[in-house]
């Protein structure tokens, strides 16, 4: 099958997330990276293009230059989809410009800096009918998809409690280091990161995972956020109580200052008949708990799984697979949409998930600012 022509904004030399996107696009084998704007420094961008074997004529100095040049190319050569893997503040202006010029998008999260910007992108996507994939990568894991399907089938009974947490510790060495290190990290700068650091970067993943697996929407939040140090402008730690309705509540805990924690994302959904627990650091195991039966463990590449989970693994049973493969599943679903093929809802997060994420982030920040009160996620 003909490869989809992929471009990339950001993600050049030394960028972890850009490397993850490129690996994922290669794993699913639907894309060919043909050009982009890989760095704000044009010389470094060209250096990266040479390193990757990309024609320098398609290594552009700016997004505007990319759009103009690509639209002048024959349709069978020009980029069809562009991945945006820049700092947060650049997502919206680049996404808006690219969508308005007919490019499909894969975008890192959070999608925008404000709710208004997110709603604007949702409007443009609806008007243009272009594909917009938001890389909430954890939705690509086979056992997360198995969890989603089984919850939809009602195997848990009435859902009565939902807990999610995302703990990291990477920022400790930065905030307890020199002042120059603090100011040099864009995630701590509201102009580049947005209204939140911890909740905007990782808490929103826990939020998205809750809504993705359960099919429910959070209605209200009450948050308590902590910058940890007086000279930090954004939250680095926080707890959020969430309400879905009168009789269903839960909690989201997120932190970037938990010493020794690496990428500890977990979710637990507790029902009247049974419960599910899943952890990102051991993603091949989905635990089903019951008061009346022994615990059950679901793993990828087995016939007992639903179709959605089974089409999402790349390795035989017993062979670990992880973050690149999960992101590849999102790229694969995006490719189906770009080609006009049928796909299962949930194969890739959409612009709507981006809107929900921004509403969550800003409701959490507002709740904390107002003195830890309940705020609607609208």
Cα–Cα distance, 355 to 204 (Å, whole number): 11
Q: What is the pLDDT of residues 229-255, one digit of tens each?
A: 998 999 999 999 999 998 999 999 999
Question: Would the pLDDT of 348 be above 60?
Answer: yes
Question: Would the pLDDT of 195 be above 60?
Answer: yes
> Which tokens belong to 323?
């973050």
Q: What is the pLDDT of residues 127-165, one digit of tens each?
A: 999 999 999 999 999 999 999 999 999 999 999 999 999
Question: 145 near 345, Cβ under 8 Å?
Answer: no
Give me the residue spans of the domains in the chain: 4-137, 140-311+351-369
Residue 48: the pLDDT is: 97
Topology, domain 4-137: Rossmann fold (3.40.50)
Residue 178: the pLDDT is: 63
**343 class by beta-carbon count within 10 Å (0-12 exposed, 13-18 middle, 19+ buried):** middle
* Angle separating helix axes 91-100 and 63-71, nearest 10 degrees: 20
Nearest 5°: the CA angle 252, 183, 83 is 65
Q: What average pLDDT does this structure show over 29-44?
A: 97
- How large a percentage of the chain has pLDDT more than 70? 98
The better pLDDT of the pair 316, 337 is held by: 337
Topology, domain 140-311+351-369: Dihydrodipicolinate Reductase; domain 2 (3.30.360)
Q: What is the pLDDT of residues 14-29, one digit of tens each?
A: 999 999 999 999 999 9
Q: Closest Cα to residue 354, out of 183, 109, 156?
A: 109
């Amino acid at each position: 099958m003909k490869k989809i022509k992929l471009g990339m904004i950001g993600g050049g030399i030394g960028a972890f997330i850009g490397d993850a996107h490129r690996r994922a696009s290669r794993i699913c084998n639907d894309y060919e990276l043909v050009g982009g704007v890989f760095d704000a420094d044009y010389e470094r961008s060209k250096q990266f293009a040479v390193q990757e074997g990309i024609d320098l004529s398609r290594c552009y100095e700016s997004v505007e230059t990319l759009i103009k040049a690509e639209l002048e190319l024959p349709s069978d050569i020009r980029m069809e989809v562009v991945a945006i893997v820049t700092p947060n503040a650049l997502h919206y202006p680049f996404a808006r410009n690219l969508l308005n010029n007919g490019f499909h998008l894969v975008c890192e999260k959070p999608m925008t800096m404000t709710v208004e910007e997110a709603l604007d992108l949702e409007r443009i996507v609806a008007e243009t009918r272009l594909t917009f994939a938001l890389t909430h990568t954890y939705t690509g894991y086979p056992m997360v998809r198995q969890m989603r399907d089984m919850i939809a089938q009602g195997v848990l009974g009435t859902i009565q409690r939902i807990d999610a947490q995302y703990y990291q510790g990477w920022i400790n060495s930065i905030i307890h280091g020199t002042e120059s290190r603090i100011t040099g990290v864009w995630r701590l700068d509201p102009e580049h990161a947005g209204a939140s650091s911890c909740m905007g970067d990782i808490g929103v993943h826990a939020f998205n995972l809750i809504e993705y697996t359960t099919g429910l929407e959070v209605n209200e939040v009450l948050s308590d956020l902590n910058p940890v140090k007086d000279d930090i402008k954004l939250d680095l730690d926080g707890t959020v109580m969430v309400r879905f309705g009168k009789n269903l509540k839960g909690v989201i805990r997120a932190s970037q200052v938990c010493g020794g924690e690496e990428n500890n994302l977990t979710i637990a959904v507790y029902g009247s008949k049974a419960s599910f627990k899943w952890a990102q650091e051991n993603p091949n195991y989905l635990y089903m708990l019951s008061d009346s039966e022994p615990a059950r463990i679901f793993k990828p590449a087995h016939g007992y799984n639903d179709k959605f989970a089974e089409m999402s693994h790349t390795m035989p049973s017993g062979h670990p697979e992880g973050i690149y493969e999960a992101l590849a599943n999102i790229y694969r679903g995006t490719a189906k949409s770009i080609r006009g093929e049928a796909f299962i809802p949930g194969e890739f997060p959409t612009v709507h998930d981006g809107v929900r994420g921004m509403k969550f982030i800003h409701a959490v920040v507002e709740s904390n600012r107002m003195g830890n009160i309940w705020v609607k996620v609208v």
